[in-house]
Amino acid sequence: MTIRRFFVILPLAALAMPAAGVHAEHSAGAVPPRVASLLPWVADALDRVGPPGAVVAVTRRDLHQAPAPPRIDLGSPHSPSFELLAAARPTLIVGDRVLHGPQTERLERAGTEVFLVDAASVEATFDSLLALARRVGSGDAMARELDAARSDLRALRLGHPVPVLVLFGTPSGFLVVTERSWLGDLVAQVGFGNVAIAGAGAERHPGYVELADEILAGLSPDLVLLVTHGDPTRIRAAFAERTAAGPLHRLGEARRGVHVLSPALFASNPWLAMPQAARAIHDLAVP
């Protein structure tokens, strides 16, 4: 069986016409693909545009809650169960280019087609969704969803830039979110001015930088946003402890406050729910 691997990093203009080999729009008599999504939000997007029942297996958005049956629970997006993945008998596996790219060879061993999406920015996210939808035969429906999402994002742009610092909480501390991530790009599209200095520290993950305290102390955000995979109350407490005294106290006294973003919407790229995420941060900047 021929294995095809997709790396979706094309601009939208390059996707204006279906590429050779990409399936046509799903028809009533066609057999839908069996999709295993290693990204829960991508599964949600496919549910909205069809074909119905295409997603047969998915990883967990909340590690404490399995997806509803009959979908097969693949576990964590970071370490999906390969045994359960094989049991789902997918014809198409959808993963993230950065997160699952290193696992591609193992994913392809059963002869299954692997489709890797790019979630590094807002437009890369939308381009990936359109390419994936065209692959499963729902390109027109997805194009309409994306048109609406772009319109919503344009309507949420702030009239004046608001200086912001976005921090991602980890067990060892905080990483600064830069424009090289989907969240940093979304912050810029809403009209915030990111005070983070991308080249001033070690980039632990694309778009997430570790900055020394002396550099953080020199930043002057009007608004501080915190996000984590874990308990929001714990990240808020950890930030308060770190900024209670010393050079970082100014960050805890940001003029528009310190806000913890909902992990359900911000811990990972929300894909078609990008406008909801934009609304959440937009409203924090509006008096």
For residues 30 and 131, membership in a common domain is answered with yes
Cα 269 to the chain's mean position, in Å?
A: 1
Rounded to whole angstroms, how far apart are CA atoms 41 and 269? Answer: 7
Q: What is the pLDDT of residues 85-129, one digit of tens each?
A: 999 999 999 999 999 999 999 998 878 999 999 999 999 999 999
Do 141 and 166 belong together in one domain? Answer: no
The string of pLDDT tens digits covering residues 10-56 is 333 333 333 333 344 555 456 779 999 999 999 999 999 989 999 99
Read off the pTM: 0.86
Contact predicate 135/15, CB 8 Å? no
Residues 166 and 262 both lie in one domain: yes
* pLDDT tens profile 91-101: 999 999 999 99
**Are residues 31 and 92 in contact, defined by beta-carbon separation less than 8 angstroms?**
no
Q: What is the pLDDT of residues 261-272, one digit of tens each?
A: 999 999 999 999
Sheet holding 5-7, edge to edge: 5-7, 113-117, 92-96, 35-37, 55-58, 72-73
- Say which CATH number the domain at 270 has: 3.40.50.1980
Tell me, yes or no, whether 123 and 201 share the same domain.
Answer: no
Q: What is the DSSP letter of 81?
A: -
pLDDT tens per residue, range 64-74: 889 999 999 99
Residue-number span of the structural domain to which 176 is assigned: 162-285
- What torsion, rounded to 10 degrees, do the Cα atoms 149, 116, 202, 190 define? 0
